[in-house]
């Protein structure tokens, strides 16, 4: 309360009080989410080394000078062990890495088997997304809570943006020296925690704003709508690169985890040789969701996984690429890779019978919006700039946790005997209405955030007697 007590007359600070009120609400709602996202995000930054350590017996094999076994032999060994059908084959990213073969089980479950490429020996298996980093990513995105979790993330990200913008307004010096770049007082005083919160927030706020905005593409409403709009207007996955290619109803996301721009990309169709008419599953639409992937059995006349891998290697696919196997007589071999450097991101589709390249697309082929959002996502994941990117975001995550902790301590030290301790209203209720209207403008851009903002505004209006200060 020290900063308020020493402030000029309330008339000059009426907007400060109104903004402070909404900053309080934003912190109340999202600080637990922000702390959780910072903690899980910090762990996920180092997903690969952590997975190699946690799952060493599955992920790492002894280096061998001998020629690796055939991919078809590895797939056969996995199918014999699992009793299921392989639908994805992932090449090792490192020389001592194992091959990963995703299998659809008889009960519809998806599992990943790890194979020594030199001997075709099956090392073991995990559920799909069942690695340590896979679980951390699900915790980070709240996927374990169900389908509505992405809506919750969208709302939290929007309120985080509100938190940062209102926080910067509150931090603005206005002739003050303390609490701008320096921290006053001692840990026993609320002033210390107020200054620590302000100084930390203004520096890490830029990063938090970036992370919130670049996390939006995964959201259920905003992300889905922007993706559809971008791809529908050639700003994401341009139709111009595929107009001459017959397309199926199958989607890339059914068998692998593509980049944001390619989430709704359809697969091209193979040209079925004479004597092999398409079957009912050739245009199976979205049957890949929920387990079923259609007919995964090898087709007569198909080039096979060994020849497909040779073709992909000849095309210069980056190490660690995944190959989705054809589904049905019109299915294709699809190789996709999303390495740390965006320039090497690539998706290639082969006709399963002739081996002809049907579509070869990389980052440079995306539309301007697709490239911009993919860059933001890659930086968000700590990938684009290697070690510097990860270390910078790790420091930012620690600072965000400090920001959350200092905000909680600051509130605790000023909490009332009863109630939440909502900051007081300014004398002019019109001021609150103006600030609320400005915030609602942002709510138009992010609909779910706007609805939640409107709900809080109505409750606050009702409980405060029409934003009257008594």
Q: What's the pLDDT tens digit per position in 200-229?
A: 999 999 999 999 999 888 887 888 888 888
Start-end of CATH 3.10.450 domains in the chain: 56-130
Asked whether the beta carbons of 294 and 284 are under 8 A apart, the reply is yes
Phi, psi of 117 (to 5 degrees): -65, -25
Give, in degrees to the nearest 5, the angle at Cα 278 between 275 and 281: 150
Question: What is the pLDDT at residue 233?
Answer: 72
Distant-in-sequence, close-in-space partners of 422: CB < 8 Å, separation ≥ 6: 21, 24, 25
Question: What is the pLDDT at residue 91?
Answer: 97
> How many of the other CB atoms lie within 10 Å of CB of 125?
20
Q: Distance between CA atoms of 158 and 371, rounded to whole angstroms?
A: 22
Q: How confident is the model at residue 166 (pLDDT cuts 50, 70, 90)?
A: very high
Question: What is the pLDDT at residue 147?
Answer: 67
Residue ranges of the alpha helices (H) in 132-175? Answer: 132-140, 149-171
Q: How confident is the model at residue 288 (pLDDT cuts 50, 70, 90)?
A: very low
Q: How confident is the model at residue 408 (pLDDT cuts 50, 70, 90)?
A: very high
Residue 133, CA distances (Å) to 40, 249, 322 in order:
10, 31, 18
Question: What is the pLDDT at residue 249?
Answer: 82
Whether the pLDDT of residue 235 is over 90: the answer is: no
Question: What is the pLDDT at residue 128?
Answer: 93
Q: What's domain 56-130's architecture?
A: Roll (3.10)
Q: What is the mean pLDDT of residues 367-388?
A: 93
Q: Over pLDDT 70: what percentage of the chain?
A: 91
Question: What is the pLDDT at residue 86?
Answer: 95
Q: Could you say which DSSP state residue 345 is in?
A: -
Question: What is the pLDDT at residue 279?
Answer: 52
Instruction: Give the DSSP letter string of 223-275.
Output: HHHHHHHHHHTTSSS-GGGTTTS-EEEEEGGGTS---GGGTTPEEE---PPTT
Whether the pLDDT of residue 6 is over 50: the answer is: no
Whether the pLDDT of residue 375 is over 70: the answer is: yes
Residue for token pair 């099956």 = 122
Question: What is the pLDDT at residue 389?
Answer: 96
Q: Does residue 421 or residue 54 have the better pLDDT?
A: 54
Across the chain, mean pLDDT equals 86
In sign, the C-alpha dihedral spanning 430, 435, 438, 440 is negative
Question: What is the pLDDT at residue 289?
Answer: 41
For 29-109, list the strands marked E by DSSP. Answer: 85-90, 99-104
Whether the pLDDT of residue 196 is over 50: the answer is: yes
Question: What is the pLDDT at residue 167?
Answer: 93
């Amino acid at each position: 309360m020290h900063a308020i007590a020493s402030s000029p007359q309330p008339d000059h600070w009426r907007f400060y009080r109104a903004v402070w009120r909404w900053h309080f609400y934003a912190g109340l709602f999202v600080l637990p989410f922000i702390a959780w996202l910072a903690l899980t995000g910090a762990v996920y930054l180092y997903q690969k080394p952590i997975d190699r350590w946690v799952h060493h017996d599955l992920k790492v094999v002894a280096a061998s000078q001998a020629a690796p076994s055939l991919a078809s032999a590895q797939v056969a060994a996995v199918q014999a062990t699992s009793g299921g059908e392989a639908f994805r084959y992932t090449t090792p990213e490192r020389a001592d890495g194992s091959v990963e073969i995703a299998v659809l089980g008889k009960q519809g479950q998806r599992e990943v088997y790890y194979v020594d490429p030199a001997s075709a020996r099956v090392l073991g298996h995990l559920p799909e997304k069942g690695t340590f980093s896979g679980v951390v990513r699900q915790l980070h995105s709240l996927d374990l809570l169900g389908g509505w979790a992405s809506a919750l993330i969208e709302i939290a990200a929007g309120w985080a943006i509100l938190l940062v913008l209102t926080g910067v307004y509150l931090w603005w010096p206005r002739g003050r020296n303390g609490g701008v770049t320096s921290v006053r007082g001692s840990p026993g005083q609320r002033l210390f925690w107020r200054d620590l919160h302000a100084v930390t927030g203004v520096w890490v706020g830029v990063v938090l704003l970036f992370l919130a905005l670049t996390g939006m593409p995964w959201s259920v409403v905003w992300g889905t709508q922007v993706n559809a709009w971008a791809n529908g207007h050639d700003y994401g996955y341009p139709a111009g690169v595929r107009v001459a290619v017959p397309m199926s109803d199958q989607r890339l996301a059914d068998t692998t985890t593509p980049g944001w721009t390619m989430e709704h990309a359809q697969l091209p169709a193979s040209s079925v040789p004479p004597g092999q008419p398409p079957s009912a599953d050739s245009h199976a639409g979205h049957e890949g969701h929920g387990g079923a992937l259609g007919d995964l059995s090898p087709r007569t006349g198909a080039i096979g996984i060994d020849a497909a891998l040779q073709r992909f290697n000849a095309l210069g696919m980056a190490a660690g690429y995944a190959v989705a196997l054809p589904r049905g007589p019109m299915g294709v071999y699809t190789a996709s890779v999303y390495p740390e450097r965006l320039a090497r991101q690539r998706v290639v589709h082969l006709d399963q019978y002739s081996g002809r390249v049907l579509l070869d697309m990389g980052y440079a082929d995306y539309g301007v919006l697709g490239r911009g959002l993919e860059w933001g996502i890659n930086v968000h994941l700590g990938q684009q700039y290697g070690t510097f990117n990860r270390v910078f975001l790790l420091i930012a995550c620690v600072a965000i946790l400090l920001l959350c902790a200092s905000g909680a301590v600051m509130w605790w030290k000023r909490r009332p005997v009863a109630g939440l301790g909502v900051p007081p209203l300014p004398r002019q209720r019109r001021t609150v209405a103006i600030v609320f209207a400005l915030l609602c403008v942002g709510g138009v851009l992010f609909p779910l955030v706007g609805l939640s903002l409107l709900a809080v505004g109505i409750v606050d209006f009702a409980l405060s007697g029409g934003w009257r200060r008594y």
